[in-house]
Structure 1
Amino acid sequence: MNEKEIKILNNLAKKIKSKRLLLNLSQESLAIKCGLDRTYISLIERSKRNPSYLSLIKICDGLEVEIKELIG
């Protein structure tokens, strides 16, 4: 990954974690809402994984946000 891609991924991770904490959700609670594994949520929040579009849509549903709020 180049620097620009790393910056984008870090920004996404921060937004997901921030919104999750704002909703007072644990990683496990968010994972259950999204139908994803807790460790996957953890990896995304630490910028260790780049979520697929479909996973990102599930996360948006779990966080009750539009995708543009996370990627904009």
Structure 2
Amino acid sequence: MKKSVLLKHIGKRIKDIRVGKGLSQVDLVGRIEGKIDTTNISRIESGRTNPTIFTLYRIAEALEVQLSEITGFQETNEN
């Protein structure tokens, strides 16, 4: 899978989950600890930036979903 396709897929999943929960980008940013703003969320949702795995994890926590729901990849229980 091309990087651009993957980033758009992840961004669409984040937006779909956020909208499905009735949250605005401002609402989502308010739930995330750390330095992230609506510009970052907009860029992630549109696939225009490559977020770190930690950023994706924090977004997943804020949306109250598993990281795998955003990425489409299965999580493992390895330490």
TM-score (normalised: structure 2)? 0.83
| CA deviation after TM superposition for structure 1 residue 38, in Å | 1.2
Count of matched residue positions in the alignment of Structure 1 and Structure 2:
70
TM-score, normalised to structure 1, is 0.90
Cα distance between partner residues in 2 of 1:62 and 1:21: 13
Larger radius of gyration: 2
Query: Deviation string for 1:17-72 (max 9, x for gaps)?
Result: 00000000000110110132111101101111111011111100011110111111
Q: Which runs of 5+ in 2 are unaligned?
A: 73-79
Match of 1:38 in 2: 38
- Percent identity between matched residues is 36
**Does structure 1 residue 59 correspond to structure 2 residue 62?**
no
Could you say what the CA RMSD is over the residues aligned between the two structures, in angstroms?
Answer: 1.1
Instruction: Judging by fraction of residues, say which structure has more helix.
Output: 1
Residue type of the partner of 2:38? Answer: R
Instruction: Name structure 1 gaps, 5 residues minimum.
Output: none
Moved over 2 A (4+): none
